[in-house]
Amino acid sequence: MDRKLGRTSFLRSGYCERGCTHPHVHWVVPAGGLALDHTHWVRSSERYFLPKPVLREVFRGKFVAALKQAFRDGQLRFEGDLKLLAQRKIFAAWLRPLYRKDWIVYLKPPFGGPQFVLQYLGRYTHRVAISNHRLVSFADGQVTFRWRDSAHHHEQKLLPVPLDEFLRRFLLHVLPKGFVRIRHFGFLANRRRATTLPLCFQLLGAEPPTEQEVSSTDDAGPLPRCPKCGGPMKVIERSTADEIQLRSPPLVTAAA
């Protein structure tokens, strides 16, 4: 069944308004999949895709099994007070109680529905760690940038950090060699979706989207607002990466 269920993963190197590291993965999983014999579409429950108790137990089992394998492969390092865990029997005894604990899984329907989720992820999949408009100044060896304080009604604040610290935080968002930002699995995998996706649309009784419909999705949402006057902004020209010259953010005067 693993090959019949489609899913897409989005690896995010991390995002924090203050530039801190927060690596995580988003998964988008269709609410159903192809039957083993490819003759019909198997729908998930109308109530929810996966029962929370099942997901909690499976995740716990997979996570602990991965820890065991990492220990056997010598991939774990124990320092300080944890040095005793380097002994096989002590490590096994430390792992055993984990199976008796109820793991917490954050699971709830998406806000605004699946379309909202895809639009949200689409805004971040190819963005850099920090946009130019958030950079305020570079002076006296410090970089000052804007961030939103979610604990205080998303109030915008300024945060100055030393240049070396700013570069350290920025480079945390650069994926290590061998990591892929977006990966597709199952019937969405690159090598088989040319045949499986048309089959899925056929079994669902739906028409596959045309190239024009796919390319126009970026313009389907509401127009962005000007940060100065609040008026709507309209795209008048698009430039490729080769056409855009690398430049520093505009200087902001003290009066601004």
pLDDT of residue 160: 92
How many whole angstroms separate alpha carbon 1 and alpha carbon 35? 8
pLDDT at res. 2: 45
Q: For 175-224, what is each residue's pLDDT tens digit?
A: 778 888 889 998 898 888 888 989 999 998 888 776 555 555 544 455 67
From residue 87, give the alpha-carbon distance in Å to each of 68, 72, 79, 90, 92. 13, 11, 13, 5, 9
Q: State residue 6's pLDDT score.
A: 87
Please give the structure tokens belonging to residue 47: 């109530």
- Residue-averaged pLDDT of the chain: 79
Q: How far apart are CA 49 and CA 28, in angstroms?
A: 12
Q: Which residue in 5, 15, 14 sits closest to 36, CA to CA?
A: 5
* Exposed/middle/buried for residue 38 (C-beta within 10 Å: 0-12, 13-18, 19+): middle
Q: How far apart are CA 100 and CA 113, in angstroms?
A: 35
Domain boundaries along the sequence of the chain: 2-128+176-243
Give 127-152 pLDDT, tens digit per residue: 777 878 889 999 999 999 988 887 88
> Distance (Å, rounded) from C-alpha 50 to C-alpha 89?
35
Two tokens at 96?
A: 């055993």
Answer whether 0.85 is exceeded by the pTM.
Answer: no
pLDDT digits (tens, 9 = 90+) for 95-121: 989 888 888 877 776 677 778 887 878
d(CA 245, CA 240): 10
The single residue listed with the structure tokens 């792992």 is: 95
- Check the CA dihedral 185-186-188-194 and report its sign: positive
- DSSP track, 33-75: EE-TTSSSEEE--SS-SS-HHHHHHHHHHHHHHHHHHHHHTT-
Which is more confident, 218 or 60? 60
Best CA proximity match to 172, nearest among 4, 9, 7, 24: 24
Reported as a single tens digit per residue, the pLDDT across 29-38 is 888 888 888 8
Query: What residues contact residue 52 under an 8 Å CB cut-off, 6+ apart?
Result: 105, 107
* Length of the chain in terms of residues written: 256
Cβ(185)–Cβ(7) below 8 Å: yes
Phi, psi (degrees; rounded to nearest 5) at 232:
-70, 145
Spatial CA neighbour of 11 closest among 162, 186, 174: 174
